[in-house]
């Protein structure tokens, strides 16, 4: 039985990505070579990198708007320090929204580079909502936010319009919903949720914001150097980039972000409706900030935990336990998660109610 994979990342990817990746490992582009052994400078891989970069920009609606897409290594966590290194001036300052564990990890890194203003935080309420009503200093070098808080199941529904560059960690909801992506100077996202296997990070940079902070930046941390080298300053993560390209092609064929957004909303509605209806369950995030990607919820009493867990196992549902800082359950419903799998989970929740 194929499992219903609710893991938070690495996570489910489209079936055709697995099939085409498997084929490419055996024989890439009929070359009688594996994607794992070809040179990153080969014509075939250069074409992969070029298409992946162009398709990312196209799907985000950023063509002709001065953006460059990069596929870098080091995870989204490296971007926590690359963004201040590239944007924060010596003796400058940056503004951060503290909406979760990953946002606070980004803040920790920014502090190595200069004054870091936390414009608002929901930490005191265990990040059960996205802070609102804050003021962003107009003299900050940039504002950093996290579009989706993977651990706490909250999502920013609106983004400010600013005169300073806005940087966003979109690791767990990139390509899942329509946003005016041109509001952002830098968008970054680890591949291992909506794009591909772990090992590469998509960074989308508005070129005109670079080279203005007066710092000497080590080459591997310098976005301008990576752009100049067409995302091949050093050996890129060949296989993760290839699998990411396959996912982006899958998304384009499906109808792009507008099409997947409808499916994602249907999945989220189905699950949240059951969480709210079923007296045995309770959501942990405030309703208006609920994430369409990660739904966090608790059982009413620990007495039902063993029964529910056994029923989940029986139904082939895996990856549902919540992060230790929230407890309970977290259903990660990334782009590749079919509506049918969410229905299976909802049916198990209903069955639990009938059983008890």
Compute the least distance from the CB of residue 93 to ligand PLP, in Å: 22
In the list 21, 121, 128, 171, the residue contacting ligand PLP (rule: CB under 6 A) is 171
Q: Rounded to an integer, what distance in angstroms lies between the CA atom of residue 19 and that of residue 30? A: 15
Phi-psi region of 78 (alpha: psi -120 to 50; beta: other; left: phi over 0): alpha
With binding defined as CB under 6 A, does residue 42 bind ligand PLP? no
> Which stretches does DSSP call E strand in the chain?
4-5, 67-72, 93-98, 115-121, 143-146, 148-149, 154-155, 166-169, 186-190, 201-206, 281-283, 294-299, 317-318, 329-332
Q: In what order do the strands lie in the sheet with 281-283?
A: 281-283, 294-299, 329-332
Residues in contact with ligand PLP, total (CB under 6 A)? 11
Residue carrying the six token digits 């919903």 = 177
With binding defined as CB under 6 A, does residue 283 bind ligand PLP? no
Query: By three-state DSSP, how is residue 278 classified?
Result: coil
The answer to whether 169 is annotated as binding is yes
With binding defined as CB under 6 A, does residue 169 bind ligand PLP? yes
What pairs with residue 187 in β-bridges?
A: 168, 204
Compute the least distance from the CB of residue 208 to ligand PLP, in Å: 25
The answer to whether 41 is annotated as binding is yes
In the list 67, 102, 181, 329, the residue contacting ligand PLP (rule: CB under 6 A) is 102
Query: By three-state DSSP, how is residue 96 classified?
Result: strand
In the list 9, 14, 199, 319, the residue contacting ligand PLP (rule: CB under 6 A) is 9
Catalytic residues: 102, 169, 193
Question: Quick one: DSSP state of residue 191?
Answer: T
Compute the least distance from the CB of residue 172 to ligand PLP, in Å: 4
With binding defined as CB under 6 A, does residue 98 bind ligand PLP? no
Residue pair 99/168 in contact by the 8 Å Cβ criterion = no
Q: Which is nearer to ligand PLP, 38 or 72 (CB)?
A: 72
Site for ligand PLP in 120-159 (CB under 6 A): 146, 150
Q: Which of 200, 354, 188 shows the shortest CA–CA distance to 278?
A: 354
Residue 46, CA distances (Å) to 16, 52, 231, 269, 313 in order: 22, 10, 10, 41, 43
Compute the least distance from the CB of residue 9 to ligand PLP, in Å: 5
In the list 83, 172, 264, 296, the residue contacting ligand PLP (rule: CB under 6 A) is 172
Compute the least distance from the CB of residue 130 to ligand PLP, in Å: 13
In the list 7, 42, 77, 104, the residue contacting ligand PLP (rule: CB under 6 A) is 77
Q: Which is nearer to ligand PLP, 92 or 197 (CB)?
A: 197
With binding defined as CB under 6 A, does residue 188 bind ligand PLP? no
Residue 231, CA distances (Å) to 60, 174, 249 in order: 18, 19, 19
Q: Rounded to an integer, what distance in angstroms lies between the CA atom of residue 324 and that of residue 308? A: 18
Q: Rounded to an integer, what distance in angstroms lies between the CA atom of residue 204 and that of residue 215? A: 21
Candidates 38-46, 58-66, 165-173, 246-254; binding stretch for ligand PLP (CB under 6 A): 165-173
Q: Which is nearer to ligand PLP, 9 or 14 (CB)?
A: 9
Compute the least distance from the CB of residue 344 to ligand PLP, in Å: 24
In the list 76, 88, 202, 349, the residue contacting ligand PLP (rule: CB under 6 A) is 76
Candidates 46-54, 75-83, 220-228, 295-303; binding stretch for ligand PLP (CB under 6 A): 75-83
Query: By three-state DSSP, how is residue 251 classified?
Result: helix
Decide: residue 237, CB within 10 A, 0-12 exposed, 13-18 middle, 19+ buried: buried
With binding defined as CB under 6 A, does residue 109 bind ligand PLP? no
The answer to whether 154 is annotated as binding is no
List contacts with ligand PLP (CB under 6 A).
9, 75-77, 102, 146, 150, 169, 171-172, 190
């Amino acid at each position: 039985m194929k499992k219903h994979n609710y893991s938070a990342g690495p996570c489910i990817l489209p079936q055709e990505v697995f099939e085409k990746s498997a084929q490419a490992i055996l024989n890439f582009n009929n070359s009688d070579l594996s994607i794992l052994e070809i040179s990153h400078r080969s014509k075939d891989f250069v074409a992969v990198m070029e298409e992946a970069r162009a398709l990312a920009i196209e799907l985000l609606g950023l063509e002709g708007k001065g953006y460059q897409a990069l596929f870098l290594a080091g995870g989204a966590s490296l971007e926590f320090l690359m963004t201040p290194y590239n944007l924060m001036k010596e003796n400058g300052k940056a503004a951060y929204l503290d909406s979760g564990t990953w946002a606070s990890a980004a803040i920790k890194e920014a502090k190595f580079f200069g004054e870091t203003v936390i414009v608002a935080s929901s930490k005191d309420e265990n990040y059960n909502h996205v802070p609102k009503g804050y003021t962003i200093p107009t003299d900050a070098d940039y504002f950093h936010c996290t579009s989706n808080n993977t651990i706490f199941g909250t999502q920013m529904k609106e983004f400010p319009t600013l005169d300073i560059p806005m940087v966003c960690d979109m690791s767990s909801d990139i390509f899942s919903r329509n946003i005016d992506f041109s509001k952002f100077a830098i968008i970054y996202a680890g591949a291992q949720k909506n794009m591909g296997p772990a090992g590469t990070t998509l960074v989308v940079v508005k070129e005109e914001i670079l080279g203005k902070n007066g710092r000497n930046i080590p080459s591997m941390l310098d976005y301008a150097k990576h752009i100049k080298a067409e995302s091949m300053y050093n050996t890129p993560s060949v296989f993760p980039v290839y699998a990411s390209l396959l996912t982006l092609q899958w998304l384009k064929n499906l109808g792009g972000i507008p099409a997947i957004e409808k499916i994602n909303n249907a999945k989220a509605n189905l699950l949240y409706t059951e969480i709210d209806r079923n007296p045995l369950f309770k959501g942990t995030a405030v309703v208006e900030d609920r994430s369409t990607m990660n739904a966090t919820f608790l059982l009413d009493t620990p007495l039902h935990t063993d029964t529910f867990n056994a029923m989940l196992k029986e139904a082939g549902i895996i990856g549902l336990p919540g992060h230790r800082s929230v407890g309970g359950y977290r259903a990660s419903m990334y782009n590749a998660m079919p509506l049918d799998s969410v229905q299976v989970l909802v049916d198990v929740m209903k069955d639990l109610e009938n059983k008890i």
